[in-house]
Amino acid sequence: MVFSRDGRLLAFVSDVQTEQGIPATAHRLTRLLYRHWDEWRDRGRHHIFVTTVNGGEGRDLTPGDFDSPPTQQEDNAFAFTPDGRDLVFVSNRDGIDREAWSTNNDVWSVSVAGGEAKKLTSNPAADVQPVFTPDGRFLIVRAQRRAGFESDRWYLDVYDRGEGNRRTVFETPDGHTIFFTATSNGTDNLYRVPLDGGTPQEVAHGGSISAATAGDSFVVFSKATLTSPAEIYRGTLGDAAAPALTRPPRALTHENDAWLKAMSFDTPTSLTVAGAAGTPVQYWLLRPPGFDPSRKYPIVFLIHGGPQGAWDDAWSYRWNPALWAAQDWVIVAPNPRGSFGFGQRFVDDISQDWAGKVMQDLDAVFDAAISLPYVDRTKQGIAGASYGGYAVNWIIGHSDRFKVAVTHDGVFNIESMALATEEQWFTDWEFGGPPTSGKARENYAKFSPHLFAQNIKTPTLVITNELDFRVPVDQGLQLFTALKRNGVPSQALVFSDEGHWVLKALNSKLWHETVFGWMKKYLSN
């Protein structure tokens, strides 16, 4: 939902029904992307409506059989022009079915009075999150360059609305300042760069900084760390010659101060080890509260999802490394191949190599961490979700080093997953083509954990969710069946009302109790 600058108009997204007369329990499928993440999308489309703030019937500005914005780009996906005459929005209009394997989201413009939409971007890859400069002359768009790759590097493209040309920031000139956040070496930092180009300058260092808003002499942002939830901060800006904040940012909110005073956290440590081909691999180490260096602690490795993702110095309400450390374990959270914040080549190195260099990176982290004098190398556990679940599935089929494992919504049988997951561009890119292509089938045969399930001996807790349409529920059920047939100690936890993540409060409570109980059963012996 966004307001026009004059406060007169309101734009919002609403579903428009496209299929009628179907019994409530039936789904008639006529196109791909018929479901997404945790909801069925076979009967409706996202459309953007505009209405006056004083009330009145909403006007559909994006009619037709397409999603505006796309289901995977709903945040900051539309904006009014500063004069309030037009609305710009993101939409993929490559065609029915193709939208399931295309990342070609474009920015479009339409009059707030309605009419035909005009495409503003011609880039064959993704263009998203349109933002105007205050004078309305320039439109700034986050853009990728490689079609079909959702984790490609993002650029900032600037469109001159008067002259009709495009340039990429950091390359050509103009004269104002853009503030943005970016990940670097496990932290999310705030940067600024002149609209006329130049080298990005760090303004404020993470933790994890997000939602920045800049004024003439100050900037306000949200900041969290691995051991503290987000609060709002205000910093005073320096000039171009001294871009960093003139003094440490001041907290404007203190919502978590009281309970944090009652908690005990060990300060997280960022470490690095040589991974595959000697490439540096960063990882976070968190020790238990009240850490005693004379003791020997169990160690648990947490593998992040994506595979293009990262463990950053950030708070989480789901997989929270500090909460895991509070179970009296040493926690290690590695950032191997595929992780953001270490250069695009590092990200690229995992595509079509899901169990190659990344596994060497992880082994290097495992070996380094268990050599610490306070770690009990006989009590190693591993847990992960999504790609992290895949990594767990792969590792326990190739190693007996872990006493216990937890795999949440992890890919187990790549071939069956590739024809059931909804975002086809993901499997196309990650495995070398459409599911029936020779290259993809070669990679399935090379990297699918189910082909090595007969080797698994590690006691394993499997978590899978019925509304997970990214890694469908059968992936976890296939793994659980294989474990039981092999006589491996195992349990499965299946949520009927959760998608890829467990978000409901009571479900989260059960999730944590079950996961921690399972890990302690094997790490306490």
DSSP string of 156-217? EEEEETTT--EEETTTS----EEEEEEEETTEEEEEEEETT----EEEE--SEEEEEEE-SS
Give pLDDT tens digits for 463-518: 999 999 999 999 999 999 999 999 999 999 999 999 999 999 999 999 999 999 99
Query: What is the mean pLDDT of the segment spanning 316-337?
Result: 96
What distance in Å separates the CA atoms of residue 353 and residue 374, rounded to the nearest whole number?
A: 34
Q: What is the pLDDT of residue 73?
A: 66
Q: What is the pLDDT of residue 299?
A: 98
The confidence score (pLDDT) of residue 79 equals 95
Q: Would you call 291 helix, strand, or coil by DSSP?
A: coil
Contact 338, 347 (CB under 8 A): yes
Active site residues: 386, 468, 500
**What pLDDT digit, counting tens, does each position of 172-186 carry?**
443 467 888 999 999
pTM: 0.90
- Give the N- to C-terminal CA distance of the chain in Å, as an integer: 53
C-alpha 443 chain-centroid distance: 24
Task: Write down the architecture of domain 1-144 according to CATH.
Answer: 6 Propeller (2.120)
What value does the mean pLDDT take over residues 388-406?
Answer: 98
Q: Indicate if the pLDDT at residue 72 is higher than 80.
A: no
What's the rounded mean pLDDT across residues 429-446? 95
What per-residue confidence (pLDDT) applies to 172? 44
Distance (Å, rounded) from C-alpha 115 to C-alpha 112?
8
Can you give the pLDDT at residue 178? 83
Flag whether pLDDT at 355 surpasses 50.
yes
CA 270 vs. chain centroid, Å, equals 21
pLDDT at 243: 67
pLDDT, tens digit, for every residue of 187-211? 999 998 887 767 788 889 989 999 9
**Model pLDDT, residue 118:** 96
**Secondary structure E strands in 208-303:** 208-214, 218-225, 228-236, 250-251, 269-274, 280-286, 297-303
Task: Identify whether the C-beta of residue 222 lies closer than 8 Å to the C-beta of residue 214.
Answer: no
Lookup: tokens for 69: 């914005």
For residue 236, what are the β-bridge partners?
218
Answer positive or negative: Cα dihedral of 199, 204, 206, 212.
Answer: negative
Domain boundaries in the chain?
1-144, 169-256, 264-413+448-523
Distance CA 343, CA 349 (A): 10
What H or E segment, with its residue span, contains residue 522?
Answer: helix 505-523
DSSP H or E run through 59: strand 59-60
Q: Please, which residues have CB within 8 angstroms of residue 187's CB and are 6 or more apart in sequence?
A: 205, 206, 207, 208, 312, 313, 341
- Residue 331 pLDDT grade (very low, low, confident, very high; cuts 50, 70, 90): very high
pLDDT in tens, 411-430: 999 999 999 999 999 999 99
456, HSE (Cβ side, Cα atoms, 13 Å) = 30
Q: Copy the structure tokens of residue 201.
A: 């300058």
241 pLDDT above the threshold of 70: no
Judge whether residue 24 has pLDDT over 80.
Answer: no
Q: Determine contact, residues 9/3, Cβ cutoff 8 Å.
A: yes
3-state SS class at 230: strand
10 Å CB burial of residue 523 (0-12, 13-18, 19+) is buried
pLDDT digits (tens, 9 = 90+) for 114-137: 999 999 999 999 999 999 988 899
Model confidence at 396: pLDDT above 90: yes
Range with the poorest average pLDDT among 77-81, 106-110, 217-221: 217-221
What pLDDT, on a 0 to 100 scale, did the predictor assign at position 227? 94
Per-residue pLDDT at 23 exceeds 90 = no
Using a 10 angstrom Cβ sphere, with 0-12 exposed, 13-18 middle and 19 or more buried, the burial of residue 316 is: middle
- Please, are residues 190 and 212 in contact by the beta-carbon 8 Å criterion? yes
Lowest mean pLDDT segment, chosen from 19-33, 263-277, 303-317 = 19-33
Say whether pLDDT at 170 is over 70: no
**Helices within 371-423 (DSSP H only):** 387-396, 414-418
Q: Which of 189, 85, 63 is nearest to 132 (CA)?
A: 85
264-413+448-523: CATH architecture: 3-Layer(aba) Sandwich (3.40)
How far apart (Å, rounded) are the C-alpha atoms in residues 354 and 363?
A: 14
Closest CA to 317 of 504, 514, 517: 504
What is the per-residue pLDDT for 173?
44
Q: Supply the pLDDT for residue 433.
A: 95
Query: In this predicted structure, what is the pLDDT of residue 28?
Result: 85
In this structure, the chain runs to a length of 525
